């Protein structure tokens, strides 16, 4: 007989209403040696955006996916008129990790989720083994085309905002129609107040003083996003003591969806380097 491995998915909600999935492939003969990976989506999606990543990561790691406050199964955690902050989202994420009994972890975030990861790495250094930030900005004045969302949302709601977002995420002419339809349904179903709360949080963000204090290795990946100025990539590598950067050619903002295989491979190579040589990135 051969030992059997069991795939376990636990769907949960924290006491403060944050939805998550805990995925674990338990070997019958040994505990998993690798550090867990936490995947955090950004504005307008939900945790199922990471499904292709989860399937690959599960070969070697425990994985946690989290719904951002106001999104997916965390929609009820949003209070109408609430102001969103990085501190609040950090508390949400830590509550998920407490539920899952996870201490240290690798963090992967896209867009706002990446901004949150950088903040987390600077404020909870003992917990964060590494950060992978995809299509991520960290300085409000270096975000483009976001202030206009206020009038778009007030005039046309989330449907009009979605029409603006979809071609910014990827080229619909060269993207799976099923993916385009899924993204549009996610975006259109989002409360317009949540959209603007995330936008306001991003515009108010400046992590310039925090980045040099981050001790964890950081990988940042960016395509030709219409929202994230390239200075966010260039200066992040300059300011973070242990940082690498990857440019994703031919991509727009939604690289974790449109170019997920390329991004995942870069992330896995980064994690393997980090774990083989904890004191260096490149």
Mean residue pLDDT across the chain: 92
Token pair for 232 = 């966010």
CATH number at 6-145+206-276? 3.40.50.1820
Does the CA dihedral 242-248-253-259 come out positive or negative? negative
Residues in the chain: 282
Q: Are 3 and 25 in contact (CB under 8 A)?
A: no
- In what helix (H) or strand (E) does residue 194 lie, and over which residues does it extend? helix 192-203
For the stretch 223-280, pLDDT in tens is 999 999 999 999 999 999 999 999 999 999 999 999 999 999 999 999 999 988 765 5
What average pLDDT does the segment 142-160 reach? 97
C-alpha to C-alpha distance for 209 and 218, rounded to whole angstroms? 16
Does the CA dihedral 255-55-133-151 come out positive or negative? positive
pLDDT of 144 higher than 90: yes
For the stretch 94-109, pLDDT in tens is 999 999 999 999 999 9
Does the CA dihedral 102-137-162-80 come out positive or negative? positive
Q: How confident is the model at residue 174 (pLDDT cuts 50, 70, 90)?
A: confident
For the stretch 189-220, pLDDT in tens is 999 999 999 999 999 999 999 999 999 999 99
C-alpha to C-alpha distance for 154 and 171, rounded to whole angstroms? 26
C-alpha to C-alpha distance for 85 and 106, rounded to whole angstroms? 22
């Amino acid at each position: 007989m051969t030992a059997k491995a069991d795939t376990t998915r636990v769907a949960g909600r924290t006491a403060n209403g944050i939805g998550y999935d805990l995925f674990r492939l338990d070997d019958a003969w040994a505990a998993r040696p690798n550090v867990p990976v936490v995947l955090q989506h950004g504005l307008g999606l939900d945790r199922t955006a990471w499904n292709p990543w989860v399937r690959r990561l599960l070969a070697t790691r425990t994985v946690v996916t989290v719904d951002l406050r106001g999104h997916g199964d965390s929609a009820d955690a949003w209070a109408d008129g609430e102001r969103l902050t990085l501190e609040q989202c950090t508390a949400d994420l830590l509550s998920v990790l407490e539920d899952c009994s996870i201490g240290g972890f690798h963090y992967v975030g896209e867009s706002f989720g990446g901004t949150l990861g950088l903040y987390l790495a600077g404020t909870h250094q003992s917990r964060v083994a590494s950060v992978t930030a995809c299509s991520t900005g960290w300085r409000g004045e270096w975000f483009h085309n976001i202030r206009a969302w206020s009038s778009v949302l007030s005039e046309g709601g989330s449907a009009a905002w979605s029409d603006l977002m979809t071609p910014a995420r990827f080229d619909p002419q060269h993207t799976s129609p099923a993916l385009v339809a899924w993204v549009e349904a996610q975006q259109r179903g989002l409360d317009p107040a949540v959209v603007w709360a995330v936008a306001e949080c991003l515009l108010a963000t400046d992590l310039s003083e925090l980045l040099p204090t981050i001790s964890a290795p950081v990988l940042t990946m960016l395509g030709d996003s219409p929202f994230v100025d390239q200075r966010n990539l260039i200066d992040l590598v300059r300011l973070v003591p242990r940082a690498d950067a990857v440019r994703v050619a031919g991509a727009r903002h939604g690289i974790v969806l449109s170019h997920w295989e390329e991004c995942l491979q870069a992330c896995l190579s980064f994690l393997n380097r980090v774990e083989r040589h904890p004191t260096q990135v490149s």
